[in-house]
Every structure is written in structure tokens, then in C-alpha cells.
Structure 1
Amino acid sequence: MSSIKQFQVTFDCAEPERLARFWCEVLGYVIPSPPKGFTTWDEFTRSQPAESQGSWFACGDPSGVGPRLFFQRVPEGKVVKNRVHLCVRVGTGLTGEVRLATLEAECARLLPLGAVRVRLLYDGNDSCIVMQDIEGNEFCID
């Protein structure tokens, strides 16, 4: 039995392109080239039936190592806490005040993008900052 080497993380959301662009800024991801035969994503979107326009968007790790992120429009808004969330690993290998300062700096970078700080989890050595993206999806900076 072979193991799966690649996977995609899918977000249900209201505004796929806007949320994809937010996560590009958070993770350093990029928007792929538009489908063959189109010079821009806007051109591709305009070619779709009205009900499909803006219904999805995607982005990926430019190195090809991280998973592709896919964003699909759904009619309902977010109601309860996510059952799965992303952890943005900026403090790997760090502890104590150095780790906390690194996480705080990343939090400060994300706030102007529209992220919301929810709470700090800190025990004097290990730390994590719980945040929300621009559509209220929880994620952690750890």
C-alpha cells in the first residue's frame, strides 16, 4: 500500500479570491497562472457562466512542498468553531521569551491584513497565538 504524498486543504467561504489572497500573504503562497488559453484570472472568470463566476480560487506553495489551498464559495456563513485549523509554524525550535517575541511579531504583521487576534496561550516556555482569518476561520501562530 502506498502512502499519499500530496493533499489539498479546502476552505468553505464567502469570497474565495479574497480569502486566497489573504492566505498568500500569510504563508508566502502564490496564485498559479490562469488556465491555458487565458492571460488573466479575470479573463477566465468572465468566460464562466454567471452562477460559477468567483465560485472558487486556489493558491499554492511556490516551492511545491506545502499543500495547495482551495477556496470554494458556499451559501452559508461560518457558524461554529472550525473542526480543523491551520497552524502557522513561525516559532519552531524556539522557547520562552524568544518564541513569544517571534509569535508577537508575526501577529503584528498579520493584523493589518485583516487577521484578528483571539488569545495568547503562554505557560512561560511554550506559546501559541489563536487568531482568525478575514472570514472568521480560526488558525494558530505557533
Structure 2
Amino acid sequence: MATVRQIQVTFDCANPERVARFWCEVLGYVIPPPPPGFADWNEFDNSLPPERQGSAFACIDPTGVGPRLFFQRVPEGKVVKNRVHLDVRVGTGLVGAERVAALEAECARLLALGATRVQLLTADGFNESCLVMQDVEGNEFCLD
């Protein structure tokens, strides 16, 4: 039998700190403490060679249940649809108009944080409604 392992979800992006802080707000995550010997993340970042400064950032679930999210700077921009995406579970257990209202309310909150609304996919008799969005750098995710 396989051993259960913790996972980390990694995002390639242009501005790791900006994207990390967006996802902290979306999920209620927090920025972890800086490495030992550093007062804060700015001090740590300034200790790196210039080409590495601002190249990575992370956020964690304060309860320790959810996976760590890691954001790394890459030189290329996003050009195609994600093959993997996050589903933010805001409508669990809700159906019909009540579910759509919950999705729309969360969508409004996230738009104020810089997200982009893409498309509301309405219930089709097999799947419940979900709302496709993009984060501050265009990575797709769903409000589910």
C-alpha cells in the first residue's frame, strides 16, 4: 500500500509575491514565517543574489490541513489553458439558485482582489453550476 504524502502546489508566474498574496486572500492562507535568522521576508530576499531576489514566494494553510502553495518566477508568460487548476469549494452542498448565488457572491469578492470572471457554467443535470475565473496572472480556477 502506498504511503500518504503531503503535496505542494506550484505556480509558475511573473510576480510570485503578488500571486501568492492573491491566493492568501482567496483561501484564507497566510505567509509562513521567514527562515531562521531573518526578521522578515524582505530581509531574506535582500540577502539573495540580485538575480534570485523576488524569484519565489509561498503561502500556507494556517490550520495545516491544506497543501502549501509555492510560486516561482519563470521567464515565459502564460500562453495556453492550465492542464491542472484549483477548484475553490464555495458552493458545497448547495444546488440551483442558492448555489449560483454563493458562486456569484464569492466572484464579486475575488473581482475586487484582481481576479477575472471567465464563464458561469450552469448545472446540466450531471454537474452542478461552477464559475470559471482567472487569478491576477491569468491562471484559471473554478468556484465550485
Global fold match (TM > 0.5): yes
Q: How many residues align?
A: 142
* Alignment CA distance shift 1:75-1:54 (3 Å): same
Between the aligned partners of 2:62 and 2:33, the Cα distance in structure 1 is: 12
Q: Aligned-residue CA RMSD in angstroms?
A: 1.1
Task: Tell me how far 1:124 sits from its aligned partner.
Answer: 6.8
Tell me the secondary structure at the aligned position of residue 103 of structure 1: helix
- Preserved CA contact (<8 Å) 1:96 1:124: no
Task: Tell me how far 1:58 sits from its aligned partner.
Answer: 0.4
TM-score by structure 2 length?
A: 0.96
Tell me the secondary structure at the aligned position of residue 132 of structure 2: strand
Please show how residues 79-118 of structure 1 align to structure 2 within 5 Å.
79-118=79-118
CA offsets 1:32-66 (integer angstroms, 9 cap, x no match):
01000001100000000001101100001000000
Please show how residues 43-82 of structure 1 align to structure 2 within 5 Å.
43-82=43-82
CA offsets 1:65-99 (integer angstroms, 9 cap, x no match):
00000000000000000000000001111101111
Residue type of the alignment partner of 1:67: P
Task: Tell me how far 1:5 sits from its aligned partner.
Answer: 3.1
Between the aligned partners of 1:114 and 1:57, the Cα distance in structure 2 is: 18
Between the aligned partners of 2:27 and 2:123, the Cα distance in structure 1 is: 26
TM-score by structure 1 length?
A: 0.97
Indicate the percent of aligned positions where both proteins have the same amino acid.
74
Instruction: Name structure 2 gaps, 5 residues minimum.
Output: none
Residue type of the alignment partner of 1:101: A
Between the aligned partners of 1:121 and 1:114, the Cα distance in structure 2 is: 21
Between the aligned partners of 1:49 and 1:4, the Cα distance in structure 2 is: 37
- Preserved CA contact (<8 Å) 1:55 1:72: yes
Matched, 1:140 2:138: no
